[in-house]
């Protein structure tokens, strides 16, 4: 079972999606759990403030350290092993391979930026990474963009059994966050070179891409294996269903031939790379 604890100011923006379709199915089967922490509950003063103006001037407001640290530490007090995810422009670009690692269906690997490789733990399992104490560039907004860094990604053996995992996702807002917040973050993740108003959408994307890979969530046994990006940059072959003829556009006859060898060959020929 995988648990996500989401620290956010806007729980109501997340609940409808997480209570629908495959996310709902995952929780009903006991394969995933979603919990929320209201950052405002850890705010300062009578108005429960969670933000303030940046030192040095500039537009917008930044999330303060105190509410964020207190919110995260309230979860860690119950589960010291929980890992913290932050959507941020200085993060590693999210991809299908990383989703498999977070879902526990392949061995975890970690970027060189901000994380270091640890020695192998007992029972031959990879030990958890440790956070390096090294400076990170100025971050004044929540742009989700590539940091143009190179990452080491060795070959991995795929495991058929998911590992119980617990992740916190911190959803930043306003103009950004105090840089010192990165010191309590385990995984810095970027979704691409574009700007969003908050971390709720990145949180949903990360959660969906991970939870759907848990065995038992999708309908077919190999639904998550035979699809785009299931093996590097592969793109899935074209697929068709009824009717055979729609407005003059017909299904390739090879798919109706019953010759599974030829069908497999056709599919291989029509798969591509991103």
User: DSSP letters along 93-140, please?
Assistant: EP-HHHHHHHHTSB-----SSSEEPPPB-GGGPBPPPEE---------
CA gap 62, 51 in Å, rounded: 5
Q: How many CB atoms lie within 10 A of CB 23?
A: 20
Cα gap 62→141, rounded to integer Å: 8
Quick one: CATH architecture of 234-273? Answer: Orthogonal Bundle (1.10)
Task: Work out the number of other CB atoms within 10 angstroms of the CB of residue 147.
Answer: 18
Per DSSP, the three-state class of 167 is strand
What CATH topology corresponds to 2-211?
Alpha/beta knot (3.40.1280)
Can you read off the two tokens belonging to residue 136? 């990170």
Question: Where does the chain hold its CATH 3.40.1280.10 domain(s)?
Answer: 2-211
**Could you tell me how far CA 242 lies from the centroid of its own chain?**
35
Q: Is the dihedral of CA 119, 122, 125, 127 positive or negative?
A: negative
CATH 1.10.1270.20 region(s) of the chain? 234-273
pTM of the model: 0.73
Per-residue pLDDT of the chain (274 residues; tens, 9 = 90+): 999 999 999 999 999 999 999 999 999 999 999 999 999 999 999 999 999 999 999 889 999 999 999 999 999 999 999 999 999 988 999 999 999 999 998 744 444 333 333 333 333 333 343 333 333 333 333 333 333 333 333 334 444 444 489 999 999 987 889 999 999 999 999 999 988 989 999 999 999 999 999 999 986 555 445 444 455 567 888 999 999 999 999 999 999 999 999 999 999 999 887 6
């Amino acid at each position: 079972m995988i648990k996500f604890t989401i620290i956010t100011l806007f729980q109501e923006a997340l609940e409808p999606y997480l209570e629908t379709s495959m996310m709902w199915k995952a929780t009903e089967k006991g394969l995933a759990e979603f919990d929320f922490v209201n950052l405002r509950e850890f705010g300062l003063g009578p108005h429960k403030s969670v933000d303030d103006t940046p030192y040095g001037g500039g537009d917008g407001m930044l999330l303060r350290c105190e509410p964020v640290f207190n919110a995260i530490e309230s979860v860690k007090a119950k589960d010291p092993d929980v890992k913290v995810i932050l959507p941020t422009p200085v993060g590693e670009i999210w991809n299908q391979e990383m989703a498999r690692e977070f879902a526990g269906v392949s061995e975890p690997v970690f970027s060189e930026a901000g994380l270091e490789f640890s020695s192998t733990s007992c029972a031959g399992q990879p030990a958890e990474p440790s956070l390096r104490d090294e400076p990170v560039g100025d971050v004044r907004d929540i742009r989700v963009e590539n940091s143009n860094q190179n990452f080491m990604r060795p070959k991995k053996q795929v495991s058929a059994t998911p590992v119980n995992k617990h992740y916190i996702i911190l959803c930043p807002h306003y103009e950004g966050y105090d840089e010192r917040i990165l010191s309590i973050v385990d995984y810095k993740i970027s979704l691409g070179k574009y700007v969003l108003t908050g971390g709720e959408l990145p949180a949903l994307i990360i959660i969906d891409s991970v939870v759907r890979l848990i065995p038992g969530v999708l309908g077919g046994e190999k639904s998550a294996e035979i699809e785009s990006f299931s093996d590097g940059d592969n793109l899935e072959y074209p697929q068709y269903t009824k009717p055979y003829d729609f407005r003059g556009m017909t299904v390739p006859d090879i798919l109706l031939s019953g010759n599974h060898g030829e069908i497999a060959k056709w599919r291989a020929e029509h798969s591509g790379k991103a």
